[in-house]
Amino acid sequence: MSRNDYPPVKVGLIGLGTVGGGVTRVLARNAGEISRRAGREIIITHAAARNLDTTTANTAGMKLTGEALEVVDDPEVAVIVELMGGYEPARGLVLRALANGKHVVTANKAMIARHGNEIFAAAQAAGRMVGFEAAVAGGIPIIKAIREGLAGNRIEWVAGIINGTANFILSEMRDKGRDFAKALAEAQALGYAEADPTFDIEGIDAAHKLTILASIAFGIPLQFDKVYIEGISRITREDVAYARQFGYRIKHLGIARCDEQGAQLRVHPTLIPQQHLLASVNGVMNAVLVKGDAVGQSLFYGAGAGAEPTASAVVADLVDVVRTLTADPENRVPHLAFQPDALSDLPVLPMESVETACYLRLQANDRPGVLADVTRILADRDISIEAILQKRPKPNASASDVPIILLTHPVREQRMNEAIATIEALDSIRAPVMRIRLEPLDSD
Amino acid sequence: MSRNDYPPVKVGLIGLGTVGGGVTRVLARNAGEISRRAGREIIITHAAARNLDTTTANTAGMKLTGEALEVVDDPEVAVIVELMGGYEPARGLVLRALANGKHVVTANKAMIARHGNEIFAAAQAAGRMVGFEAAVAGGIPIIKAIREGLAGNRIEWVAGIINGTANFILSEMRDKGRDFAKALAEAQALGYAEADPTFDIEGIDAAHKLTILASIAFGIPLQFDKVYIEGISRITREDVAYARQFGYRIKHLGIARCDEQGAQLRVHPTLIPQQHLLASVNGVMNAVLVKGDAVGQSLFYGAGAGAEPTASAVVADLVDVVRTLTADPENRVPHLAFQPDALSDLPVLPMESVETACYLRLQANDRPGVLADVTRILADRDISIEAILQKRPKPNASASDVPIILLTHPVREQRMNEAIATIEALDSIRAPVMRIRLEPLDSD
């Protein structure tokens, strides 16, 4: 069957808060790409929320109810997305959805950490899937990475910055010399911390996530009650400063380690070497470092919370479910991610049409007027300059050989090629112009 | 069926060089974990190499041949692992393996970048899988991350450090002020660069990988011949230094970007902001930064080459294939990564038995003898001290309140608990001891 022959997969959403809104938005906005990848459309047909009046999600076309059970029991729904959070009634609803023959996708780390063993056994018995990528580290596909991508390894340890609120507070304490209370207040003002921040700052949320990571890394049942948990509320700004003097940063880590004796599961503030990549993970970002015996250290970094990053993980799980429902096992994941009949004929643009800022290094005669000539050539082509560095000649170079270095604002390659050719034709320019393109790597 | 009912999956290996040796080693060493994950054993039963005498791989129990075709045509073999590299005869062998009904796992980026469209069409027609996780960024599961983990996103761009040799050379130029030729010679001496380093330093290897990344990110056919390619051989140490003065580092990046007009595919030296996480990826390490519209920026970091990191990716693909052959679609990937009947009852250790180095902060009376008392208490318990910091009192603190900060060497939690309790019982200690555990995060 080609993908156009499959009817859409109907999803029932439980919870229309921040993440629920993100999921509806991402599924709608990327509907085309998603069905090109999954092999069929994924649409939310049913949704439940405690308070339907307050949701800002676009629920057009959905059958709405205040009663989650109605969605879970609706025979039309093939997959339940559970975004209500908490232990109950989430657990009961998920078990019931599985009993009803539905697949489940959830972002509920508390429920998985505490009731996952029971839920997975029920899913296994029912021949249904429970996707929980969104339960750990938001948009970072860390469950998939460990469970599948690193499946050849004996995982020795996992260390993660898996609570953005705590990481934001520690980053503020370090970067701005704030004390804990002030940094917490700022996190609350910015919406990064709840009015009652206990779960985040006392490590309970991180412990939920660590429980899950440890199980998939080591193949042990979920054991939330065995995690050692210590929060960050006792850390002072002096501790942050002293740690720095020793060459360390304080991060709130979830650490799981495994050897023949047993497994360690612990969440606590931790000094880590400041030159380690993990020490550079700042603000609300998350990162998980995995040590496998074959792969060595791998780091997975990204947004650990927020409506759309979490939605990214939820939708990935939906695509996973749908790919499995739709394809022969061998063609579950298309080789090039998109279904073979859905590849795009989008052109690859010629380099001349690419636009980047540029670094230019010129070797010029040290005589007045060179810089004026060069800047004129650039100005004539509407290439604006961000910075200029004119160096004294190197001691061993001829006295007349002076490097001029420029940074330009973004410019089309073609126009820059012309400018460089014109500059190289100047008598006062001694060597080919060195051009290195610049990428700000910001979120444009 | 439980996993014990499935016979082993028989793999034929083509190529017994460095990576081939890594694959045999990892499959043997982690056989238990791998079959607990995959649901059945994976064994290499056949292997081919041009020169069987020179291989250092442990080939005990394998049927060996100098003729790759024999392995590809052997009806006993279910999966071919192609590690010979290059365009031909690899392409012909892979196509033949697919025609023979075998699945294929390959680390061959050149072949996939150039002939992938043909190979994937053949695989699709044959209902067989071609795994190529090892073709891009070695042990980093970046193919899986983009193809599955970020499947909810419109991928806007991908920027990667995907050639370890080039990154090593640029890192040496920056950190040690070396010029290009010297850094290259060092890379060659260390075995990071080949005698003919052209593929690595002129960007061709990176372009192969970028071709693959762009296709799975944007859903376009593989188009290696449209990649703009520029190497690093013209970069001088002055360029590195000037870039630093502007606040940038020079990295050799593969960049793919996509909008309505078309796709950009380019490999070139690039200035990137020095505070960006990607700028801290040094030496032979690889990293791929992916910008998705929902997830934002995600970074995937790890070893991009080497026998065992590459083997990690090859074996992950093998597990992927085997999970699909073995399980009902719904139970393809076990929820907790390991088959439900293969979870371990390894104990979770009590915190008292965990061993870490510690940071201790004490608030002491400023009188002679406190430090002697404290160090005696630690020495009595065989806790050795790595560093001590004794601060003058804070201006606003009582003059007798002096912080003492210590770093210890690794010590068992229980012994440290006792030491802390004893220290806190001293008359001269004014407040609870602050203890923060330390993790070096090195590759132990």
Tens digits of residue pLDDT in B222-243: 999 999 999 999 999 999 999 9
pLDDT for position A1:
44
pLDDT for position B1:
44
pLDDT band of residue B152 (cuts 50, 70, 90) is very high
Q: Which position has the token pair 């027609």?
A: B125
- Alpha-carbon distance B372 to B374, whole Å? 5
Q: Is A12 exposed, middle or buried (0-12, 13-18, 19+ CB in 10 A)?
A: buried
- CA proximity to B434, closest of A302, A362, A235, A341: A235
Flag if A146 and B342 touch (Cβ within 8 Å).
no
On the question of pLDDT at B3 being above 60, the answer is no
**Do residues A5 and A12 make contact, with C-beta atoms less than 8 angstroms apart?**
no
Residues of A236-274 as b/e, b for ≥16 C-beta within 10 angstroms?
A: ebebbebbeebebbbbbbbbbbbeeebbbbbbbbbbbbe
Give A 144-173 residues with CB within 8 A of chain B.
144-154, 159
User: Nearest residue on chain A to B134, judged by CA atoms?
Assistant: A149
Establish whether A119 is an annotated binding residue. Answer: no
This complex has an ipTM of 0.96
B348 closest CB neighbour out of A223, A253, A301: A223
How far apart, in Å, are the Cα atoms of A442 and each of A27, A433, B156? 25, 27, 12
pLDDT for position B390:
84
Q: Is some CB atom of chain A closer than 8 A to the CB atom of B191? A: no
Q: Is B391 exposed, middle or buried (0-12, 13-18, 19+ CB in 10 A)?
A: middle
User: Nearest residue on chain B to A280, judged by CA atoms?
Assistant: B277
In this predicted model, what pLDDT tens digit does every residue of A92-138 receive, in sequence order? 999 999 999 999 999 999 999 999 999 999 999 999 999 999 999 99
Q: ∠ CA A77-A83-A87 to the nearest 5 degrees?
A: 110
- Residues of chain A with pLDDT below 50 are 1
Q: Which position has the token pair 């056994």?
A: A121
In this predicted model, what pLDDT tens digit does every residue of B127-136 receive, in sequence order? 999 999 999 9
pLDDT band of residue B54 (cuts 50, 70, 90) is confident
Q: Is A358 exposed, middle or buried (0-12, 13-18, 19+ CB in 10 A)?
A: buried
Q: How far is CA A152 from the centre of its chain?
A: 24
pLDDT for position B84:
95
Contacts of B248 in chain A (CB under 8 A): 359, 438
Establish whether A422 is an annotated binding residue. Answer: no
Give B 278-307 residues with CB within 8 A of chain A.
278, 280-281, 287, 289, 291-303
- Alpha-carbon distance A221 to A129, whole Å? 17
- Residue B340: is the preceding peptide bond cis (ω within 30°)? no
- Alpha-carbon distance A379 to A384, whole Å? 7
DSSP annotation of A341: G
Q: Which two tokens stand for residue B304?
A: 């991009």
- Alpha-carbon distance A152 to B35, whole Å? 10
Establish whether A18 is an annotated binding residue. Answer: yes
How distant is the Cα of B119 from the closest Cα of chain A, in angstroms? 10
B177 — alpha (psi -120 to 50), left (phi > 0) or beta? left
Can you list the domains of chain A with their CATH numbers? 3-138+308-342 (3.40.50.720), 142-303 (3.30.360.10), 351-438 (3.30.70.260)
- Alpha-carbon distance B308 to B296, whole Å? 31
**Do residues B140 and B290 make contact, with C-beta atoms less than 8 angstroms apart?**
no
pLDDT band of residue B254 (cuts 50, 70, 90) is very high
Catalytic residue numbers of B? 209
For residues B349-366, give the mean pLDDT.
94
Flag if A242 and B405 touch (Cβ within 8 Å).
yes
Candidates A79, A324, A349, A433: best to mutate against B (most CBs of B within 10 A) is A349
For residues B203-217, give the mean pLDDT.
98
- Alpha-carbon distance A114 to A112, whole Å? 5
Amino acid A183 reads: A
Residues of B181-200 as b/e, b for ≥16 C-beta within 10 angstroms?
A: eebbebbeeeebbeeebebb
pLDDT for position A400:
64
B127 closest CB neighbour out of A121, A123, A330: A330
pLDDT for position A399:
56
B324 closest CB neighbour out of A154, A264, A332: A332
Establish whether A21 is an annotated binding residue. Answer: yes
A262 — alpha (psi -120 to 50), left (phi > 0) or beta? left
User: Nearest residue on chain B to A335, judged by CA atoms?
Assistant: B120
Q: Is some CB atom of chain B closer than 8 A to the CB atom of A233? A: no
Contacts of B265 in chain A (CB under 8 A): 348
- CA proximity to B104, closest of B141, B77, B69: B77
Q: ∠ CA B373-B376-B377 to the nearest 5 degrees?
A: 85
User: Nearest residue on chain B to A324, judged by CA atoms?
Assistant: B329
What residues contact A221, with CB distance under 8 A and at least 6 apart?
A117, A215, B336, B343
Q: Which position has the token pair 């709840």?
A: A194
Amino acid B158 reads: V
Q: How far is CA A273 from the centre of its chain?
A: 23
B319 — alpha (psi -120 to 50), left (phi > 0) or beta? alpha
Flag if A340 and B124 touch (Cβ within 8 Å).
yes
Give B 40-99 residues with CB within 8 A of chain A.
none
**Do residues A24 and A42 make contact, with C-beta atoms less than 8 angstroms apart?**
no
Flag if B309 and A294 touch (Cβ within 8 Å).
yes
Share above pLDDT 70 across residues of chain B, in percent, rounded to a whole number: 97
Q: ∠ CA B78-B79-B81 to the nearest 5 degrees?
A: 155
- Alpha-carbon distance A153 to A9, whole Å? 35
Flag if A338 and B150 touch (Cβ within 8 Å).
no
Contacts of A330 in chain B (CB under 8 A): 103, 127-129, 324
Q: Is some CB atom of chain A closer than 8 A to the CB atom of B242? A: yes
